[in-house]
Structure 1
Amino acid sequence: MCPQCGTRHDEWDHGGPDEEDQYIAVGQRCVGCQTIADKQKQLEQQGIDLHGMKIGLLPVAIHAAMEAERELRKAQRGRRAWDDEDDE
């Protein structure tokens, strides 16, 4: 089985006049793949090295939660230990 397309060699017409192929090639646009390609292009235009970088899709709600957590940790790092005593 081909790891890229998932077909087997014996599924294809190998020259027999009466045999039809079992598949037909069709085009299909994936909005997710297009969004990833757009982000890669944007990062390249910004001069960011993409070697080894994976671009993936993340649900908006999860991204917002991660950003909120990141901001909370940043704020906590900026506080000193004695600042917590003032809150009591």
Structure 2
Amino acid sequence: MELCAAYGIPHSQLMGAGTGRWTALDRAKALAYLHFTRAVCEGCGTRPSEWDEAAGGDRFAYVAESHRCSGCELIEMEQEQVPQGPEARGVKIGLRPRTE
């Protein structure tokens, strides 16, 4: 379904059985996939149902771990150089490959 969403095509067409027209089943699958992806927490990448024991989840299914991302570190260091106040509104720091 991720490919279908990326290309905007019905699942039946991806599987080689469709004509490119959206069937009721294709629409149901697309809506279910949309619901599934929107349920993911942007911060940790889990879903509430994974934690809810009443829904079959396991409160201890995950173990927290830390890691350092050099790219995120560089972005944070550059963000510290942006002056505070109105002139900082809308300033975003990103990464791009170095060109030589």
Q: 1:44 to 1:56 in 2, by over 3 A?
A: same
* Partner residue, 2:88: 50
Offset at residue 48 of structure 1 (A): 8.5
Deviations 1:31-55 (A, max 9, x none): 101100100112238x893211110
Identity %: 41
The question of 1:38 aligning with 2:67 is answered no
RMSD over aligned Cα, in angstroms? 2.7
Offset at residue 13 of structure 1 (A): 5.7
Contact 1:13 1:20 in 2 (8 A): yes
Instruction: Tell me, in whole angstroms, the C-alpha distance in 1 between the residues paired with 2:73 and 2:86.
Output: 19
Q: 2:67 aligns with which of 24, 28, 47?
A: 28
Residues matched between the structures, number? 58
Contact 1:11 1:21 in 2 (8 A): no
Q: Which runs of 4+ in 1 moved over 6 A?
A: none
* Partner residue, 1:12: 51
TM-score by length of structure 1 reads: 0.51
**Unmatched tracts of structure 2, length 5 or more:** 1-38
TM-score by length of structure 2 reads: 0.45
The question of 1:60 aligning with 2:98 is answered yes
**Unmatched tracts of structure 1, length 5 or more:** 65-88
